């Protein structure tokens, strides 16, 4: 039988990023596993795309969704619904942002788009600071500020974007610096960029750990240092927590918390994992920023009862079962196992990560040149042996990305690392 892809590829745009020579058709899942149309079982080390945050087919979420579907799926966002208000209360409380207001969207792109809308309206400026190698979504405004070439699509933008250093540690002019010197150099770069612009910049948008960019993280404290400069200029800080939120990094509930003294951002955006696969995104900002728009606005599907019911059930499960703690414990063990699996493999330049967000950067042996072919080969070999992983990276998709559901068990971590070792050693 030919695959679903082979039969229907004529209707799929060429630019849709699909994994594998013959893209998979997934039919169902349970826990940390999914099955394809031929009945093959896979350990899911990418959790959808960090979207299945707790587990596949989690009974608590399934029950909440089916009960809500039995009552009403969508009541119109012109009215209120209880799951939305309850989820907004919980997210506001967890965000760390004082006097927080929450607006729900259907994706991370739309959340960041809204954050940019708020920041530019609040500051009456269309200048945005973004990090090199960043990714914030695929709408015209978010893709327009994306610093990662692989995902920047056209390079055109409705916003004027100024890029600063700091998102990627091991490359570029600041490679090899100590944490302290790296932060100093990035702050000097930020000051330099600001010194060259005439209009007031609206906001800096940044992922605490770059996701699509290859799970690269700046030293703790970078954003606290940036914040001091931004505050002097009245520039807002948008923390894009689409990948780093909800405890994924193990040590912290939000990525911004790794930057301690920085305090909460002015605007926080989230999506991916909160709905456990249901399309839930959103923006949190303090009231004076959120309320700076004086025109009416809605998201037709943002805050729909069915997605909100999923978000509430998922968040409750996550907190009650301390999945952040699990991400720290099992993630700590997994990164050790991955380091051992990668030891001596000539293509592996670095294994890095935090909690259940682990990257393995591949280069051409003995050089700094990205090695997307090797990354593709490891993905195929892992799939053959029943393991799904992701890829991404600076300049090219040459970093393997591991981000399983946060309920991953120790034995699943060990099983996955063993398959990964085989795949890496087949290079």
- Segment interacting with ligand PLP, rule: CB under 6 A, options 15-23, 195-203, 238-246, 363-371: 238-246
- Segment interacting with ligand PLP, rule: CB under 6 A, options 5-13, 17-25, 90-98, 104-112: 104-112
Size of the site for ligand PLP (CB under 6 A): 15
Half-sphere exposure of residue 395: CA atoms within 13 angstroms, side-chain side: 13
Query: Which tokens sit at 160?
Result: 């004027």
Least distance from ligand PLP to the Cβ atom of residue 281, Å = 6
Least distance from ligand PLP to the Cβ atom of residue 135, Å = 5
Rounded Cα–Cα distance for residues 176 and 366 (Å): 17
Beta strands in 115-159 (DSSP E): 127-131
Helix axes 305-320, 82-95, angle to 10 degrees: 40
Among 54, 68, 95, 107, binds ligand PLP (CB under 6 A): 107
Least distance from ligand PLP to the Cβ atom of residue 242, Å = 4
Least distance from ligand PLP to the Cβ atom of residue 109, Å = 3
Beta strands in 87-193 (DSSP E): 100-105, 127-131, 160-164
Rounded Cα–Cα distance for residues 65 and 310 (Å): 6
Among 240, 266, 347, 361, binds ligand PLP (CB under 6 A): 240
Least distance from ligand PLP to the Cβ atom of residue 365, Å = 29
Least distance from ligand PLP to the Cβ atom of residue 7, Å = 26
Q: Please, which residues bridge with residue 238 across strands?
A: 205, 267
> Backbone phi, then psi, for 246, in 5-degree steps?
70, 20
Least distance from ligand PLP to the Cβ atom of residue 41, Å = 26
- The residues near 236 (Cβ < 8 Å, ≥ 6 apart) are 119, 122, 123, 202, 203, 204, 230, 266, 267, 289
Under the criterion CB under 6 A, does residue 216 sit at the interface with ligand PLP? Answer: no
- Which residue pairs, CB below 8 angstroms and at least 24 apart, start in 345-349? 345/424, 345/425, 345/427, 346/427, 347/371, 347/374, 347/424, 347/427, 348/424, 349/170
Host H or E run for residue 228: helix 222-233
Among 119, 159, 205, 271, binds ligand PLP (CB under 6 A): 271
- Segment interacting with ligand PLP, rule: CB under 6 A, options 94-102, 239-247, 283-291, 371-379: 239-247
Cβ pair 61, 41 in contact under 8 A:
no
- Segment interacting with ligand PLP, rule: CB under 6 A, options 105-113, 165-173, 218-226, 364-372: 105-113
Please name which of 287, 301, 233, 237 lies closest in space to residue 81, comparing C-alpha atoms: 301
Which residue of the chain is nearest ligand PLP when measured via CB?
108
Query: Which tokens sit at 212?
Result: 């699509």
By C-beta, is 88 or 206 nearer to ligand PLP?
206
Least distance from ligand PLP to the Cβ atom of residue 2, Å = 29
Under the criterion CB under 6 A, does residue 42 sit at the interface with ligand PLP? Answer: no
By C-beta, is 136 or 337 nearer to ligand PLP?
136
Least distance from ligand PLP to the Cβ atom of residue 130, Å = 12
Among 211, 275, 390, 416, binds ligand PLP (CB under 6 A): 211
Query: Which tokens sit at 425?
Result: 């050693």
- Segment interacting with ligand PLP, rule: CB under 6 A, options 107-115, 228-236, 260-268, 286-294: 107-115
By C-beta, is 135 or 226 nearer to ligand PLP?
135
- The residues near 309 (Cβ < 8 Å, ≥ 6 apart) are 64, 65, 67, 68, 83
Least distance from ligand PLP to the Cβ atom of residue 314, Å = 16
Among 31, 48, 83, 137, binds ligand PLP (CB under 6 A): 137
For binding to ligand PLP (CB under 6 A), which residues are involved? Answer: 107-109, 112, 135-137, 207, 211-212, 240, 242-243, 271, 281
């Amino acid at each position: 039988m030919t695959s679903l892809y082979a039969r229907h590829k004529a209707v799929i745009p060429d630019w849709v990023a699909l994994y594998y020579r013959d893209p998979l058709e997934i039919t169902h899942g349970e826990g940390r596993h999914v099955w394809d149309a031929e009945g093959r079982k896979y350990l899911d080390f990418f959790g959808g795309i960090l979207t299945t945050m707790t587990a596949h087919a989690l009974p608590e979420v399934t029950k909440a969704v089916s009960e809500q579907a039995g009552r009403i799926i969508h009541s119109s966002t012109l009215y209120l619904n209880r799951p939305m208000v309850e989820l907004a209360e919980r997210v506001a409380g967890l965000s760390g942002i004082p006097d927080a207001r929450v607006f729900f969207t259907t994706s991370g792109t739309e959340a960041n788009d809204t954050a940019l809308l708020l920041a530019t309206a609040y500051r009456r400026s269309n200048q945005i600071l973004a990090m090199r190698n960043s990714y914030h979504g695929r709408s015209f405004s978010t893709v327009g500020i994306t610093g990662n070439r692989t995902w920047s699509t056209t390079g055109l933008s409705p916003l004027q974007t100024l890029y600063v250093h700091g998102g990627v540690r091991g490359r570029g002019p600041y490679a090899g610096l100590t944490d302290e010197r790296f932060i100093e150099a990035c702050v000097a770069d930020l000051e330099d960029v600001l010194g060259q612009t005439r209009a007031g910049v609206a906001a800096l948008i940044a992922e605490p750990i770059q996701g699509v960019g290859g799970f690269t993280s700046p030293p703790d404290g970078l954003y606290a240092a940036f914040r001091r400069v931004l505050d002097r200029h009245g520039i807002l800080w948008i923390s894009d927590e689409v990948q780093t939120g909800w405890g994924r990094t193990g040590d912290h509930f939000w990525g911004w918390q790794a930057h301690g003294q920085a305090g909460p951002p002015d605007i926080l955006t989230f999506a991916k994992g909160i709905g456990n696969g249901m399309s839930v995104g959103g923006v949190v900002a303090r009231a004076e920023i959120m309320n700076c728009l004086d025109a009416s606005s809605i998201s037709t599907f943002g805050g729909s009862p069915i997605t909100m019911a999923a978000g509430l059930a998922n968040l409750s499960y996550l907190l009650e079962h301390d999945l952040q703690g699990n991400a720290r414990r099992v993630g700590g063990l997994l990164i050790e196992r991955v380091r051992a699996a990668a030891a001596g493999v000539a293509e592996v330049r670095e294994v890095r990560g935090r909690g259940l967000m682990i990257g393995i950067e591949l280069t051409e042996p003995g050089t700094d040149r990205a090695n997307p072919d090797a990354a593709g080969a490891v993905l195929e070999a892992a799939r053959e042996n029943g393991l799904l992983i992701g890829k991404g990276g600076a300049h090219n998709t040459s970093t393997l990305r591991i981000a399983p559901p946060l309920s991953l068990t120790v034995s699943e971590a060990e099983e996955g690392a063993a398959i990964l070792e085989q795949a890496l050693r087949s290079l």
